[in-house]
Amino acid sequence: MEKTEIQELEQEARKVREDIIDEVYYAKSGHPGGSLSITDILTVLYFKEMNINPENPNWEERDRFVLSKGHCSPALYSCLANRGFFPVEDLKTFRDIHSYLQGHPDKNKVPGVDMTTGSLGQGLSVANGMAIAGKMDKKGYRVYCVLGDGEIEEGQIWEAAMAANKYKLDNLCVIVDNNNLQIDGTIEEVMSSYPIDEKFRSFGFQVININGHDIEEIIKAFEVARNVKGKPTCIIAKTIKGKGVAFMENQAGWHGKAPNEEQYKQAIEELRGE
């Protein structure tokens, strides 16, 4: 793996973080904390891992992506825009009543979005369906699904996990964004899902634990997942909520809040290294 490639991905991730802050600031609402924690993962997916074509968003052979924690759409929108699915300047219309870039992604309106999400707990079931369809149709595409660690408190996630194992969905890769915070506090305080890795392992998944902000670790985890046969893979990514903006990091209060003008300027200056 070339050092320059990792550096380029790190630079792209910084750009995505700037976009996230822009989107939420101009909308005066949104979810920056969890968007910033999944930025490195989505950057690797969209700029290296996934086989996609911005000129043909509905290409049948493309890899599929389901952002089950749909409220973190600012990160997804930035990746899609910077990959060429729609104009980057449209990001500043985020959450405007007349914009196609609503608070939760809509597959009928946003090019490159494979599934409309927002109701937590349902994304893995949809990803299962995509993976099963791929096997039935003898397609080579892979399906990626990002879950929140608070989201996996939803019972439907574990029903879907059972199904993924039953149908031996080795074309499915689940990523859990383990930033340890949800809207009401820490995972332990609300409804502990720990140990996450052992739970998914007991459901028949190949489990990989990584630092969700280490680009090289993320790349290697996806490489391992591609070579797993006969069962689905779950990558447990240890992350920091609000990663990249010091005053947002590890603060549950930034789950769903927009920065004011002073905070916006501080965040952008920090992300640009100024």
**Residue 37 pLDDT > 80:** yes
DSSP H helical segments within the chain, as ranges?
3-27, 32-37, 39-44, 73-82, 123-136, 155-166, 187-191, 196-202, 215-226, 261-271
Quote the crossing angle between the two packed helices 3-27 and 215-226, to the nearest 10°. 100
Beta-bridge partners for 175: 146, 235
Q: Give CA–CA dist 245/269, Å, rounded.
A: 10
pLDDT at 1 over 80: no
What does the pLDDT look like over 85-142, one tens digit per residue? 999 999 999 999 999 999 999 999 999 999 999 999 999 999 999 999 999 999 999 9
Mean pLDDT of 1-6: 87
Query: In this predicted structure, what is the pLDDT of residue 2?
Result: 82
The pLDDT of residue 158 is above 90: yes
pTM: 0.97
Query: Percentage of the chain with pLDDT > 70?
Result: 99
Return the number of other C-beta atoms located less than 10 Å from residue 4's C-beta.
8
Instruction: Determine the residue type at 84.
Output: G
CATH superfamily, with its number, for domain 3-271: Thiamin diphosphate (ThDP)-binding fold, Pyr/PP domains (3.40.50.970)
pLDDT over threshold 80, residue 50: yes
* Boundaries of every domain in the chain: 3-271
Q: How confident is the model at residue 183 (pLDDT cuts 50, 70, 90)?
A: very high
